[in-house]
Structure formats: structure tokens, C-alpha cells
Amino acid sequence: AQTVTQSQPEMSVQEAETVTLSCTYDTSESDYYLFWYKQPPSRQMILVIRQEAYKQQNATENRFSVNFQKAAKSFSLKISDSQLGDAAMYFCAYRSPTGNQFYFGTGTSLTVIP
């Protein structure tokens, strides 16, 4: 099974500043999909951004962008202009193109300081 590692259990950022959340993964596959999910206190899981491994260009969704380093098996999430509503648990996830299973990291709890 693939493993996904989030080495930062907790992070904090000042409102309007930028923060980067780290994620590494282990795989022998050359093609796969990576995701960042947000889980606010409501516990609802919300997709933030996704990246296809065959694409060299880093995905961007408004204030959210990723730094995808395929050789290093690294997939970090950058949140720019942090807002109070960004406070949540963030999960990194991996999916093989040939399988149905998703593998999640243990999450990073992000606090936004006013």
C-alpha cells in the first residue's frame, strides 16, 4: 500500500500571510493523482486542489497552489493571503490511476491568527 506522510501535525499563520503545508508519499507508480482536502470543524471533507502526476505544471485554485516535486515525491500546499476561514485540518491524499483506493495522510491542523 502507498503511504502518505504529513510531518507537520500543527501549523499556524497570521491572517493575510502565506503558509505551506508539507506532504510526501511513497509509490513505485509513474502515474497517479494527488489531492489536498480541507476539514473544518464541521467535519465535512472539502476538496481544495488536485494534481495529476503526468502534468508538470503545478495546480492552482485561487489562493491555493501546490508545489509538486515528482522526483522527490513531495506535494506541498501553499495558501496565500490566509483567511480566518482557512482554519481547518488539511489532509493530503494519493490515488493510483489503476485502483479505487485513496490513501490519506494523518493531517495538519492549521490555525489562522487574526
Partner 1 sequence: NAGVTQTPKFQVLKTGQSMTLQCAQDMNHNSMYWYRQDPGMGLRLIYYSASEGTTDKGEVPNGYNVSRLNKREFSLRLESAAPSQTSVYFCASRMNWGLAVGETQYFGPGTRLLVL
The answer to whether 109 touches 89, Cβ cutoff 8 Å, is yes
The answer to whether 36 touches 64, Cβ cutoff 8 Å, is yes
Residues 45-84 vs partner 1: string with x where CB under 8 A? xxx--x-x--------------------------------
CB of 104 to partner 1, least distance (A): 4
Give just the sign of the alpha carbon dihedral 78, 83, 86, 87. Answer: positive
H-state helical runs in the chain: none
Which listed residue (88, 91, 110, 112) binds partner 1 by CB under 8 A?
Answer: 91
List contacts with partner 1 (CB under 8 A).
1, 4, 6, 9, 33, 35, 37, 42-47, 50, 52, 91, 95, 97-98, 100-102, 104-107
